[in-house]
Amino acid sequence: MELRTEWLGRIGYAEAWDRQHALVAARAAGEVPDTLLLLEHDPVLTLGRNADPAHVIAPEALLAARGIAVHRVERGGEVTYHGPGQLVAYPIVRLADHDLLLRPFVRALELAMADVAASYGIAAGRRDGYPGSWVDADGVLPRKLGALGLRVERGVSYHGIALNVTTDLDDFSLIDPCGMSGLVVTSIARELGWEGAAARPSTESVAEAGRRYAAALGPRMADAIAVSRAAVTPAAARAG
């Protein structure tokens, strides 16, 4: 499948949100191809459409002093943090064009995150019942490396994943990440023990992770499409 990639660099949340909405409308109308937006956000908190605002535990005055806005958005899931050093990827995909079911699509996004982690030498994967990417998912101390939350409108996906590369993990203390008190959040930098300049938030490190994610997602999407078509074919055959 064709998946055009756009690297937006470091960008405010509202601007990227508007870009997503414009692309969803254009994709639903068949005016643009499927598109993967890759970017890094300024510090911001977002809540899913049914998220509990009580999971934002930082006082409003502290958020205001730090210039951190809070947005309620259309995706599923609870509250999450976006900020410098974090790769955000928004796939704008018209699912029906590929007979692509939602669950295999989500799985492809998660596996692509795991592929990026593996390319750095980190073993990460799924954790049943907890969307995203996890280190030591089935161990004593599971650590969340990447978050996932999607929305599908007019058959087109948007929102997506957030993978911590060199993110300042102290910022996650502003919230109960994903609505889970005590959740341990990690990053590629933390897992690899990067120190000094290498460990600080960097748009360059995010851009490199973005290249790796784009390369990983294509094959994972092809697998997801094959799984989806295999799942619907028997039903279609029986109907005939």
Alpha-carbon distance of 79 to 23, in angstroms, equals 24
Region of 66 on the Ramachandran plot (φ > 0 left; ψ -120 to 50 alpha; else beta): alpha
**How far is residue 172's CA from residue 174's CA, in Å, rounded to a whole number?**
5
Query: Nearest Cα to 164, choosing from 180, 146, 176?
Result: 146
Q: Contact, 10 vs 42, CB < 8 A?
A: yes
Nearest to 36 by CA among 49, 20, 51: 20
Active-site annotation, residues: 178
Sheet of 35-41, strand order:
4-11, 35-41, 86-92, 156-164, 143-153, 130-135, 124-127
Nearest partner of 160 among 120, 115, 108, judged by Cα: 108
**E strand or H helix at 92:** strand 86-92
d(CA 224, CA 70): 33
CA–CA separation, 235 and 71 (whole Å): 41
The residue count for the chain: 240
Side chain identity at 18, as an amino acid letter? Answer: D
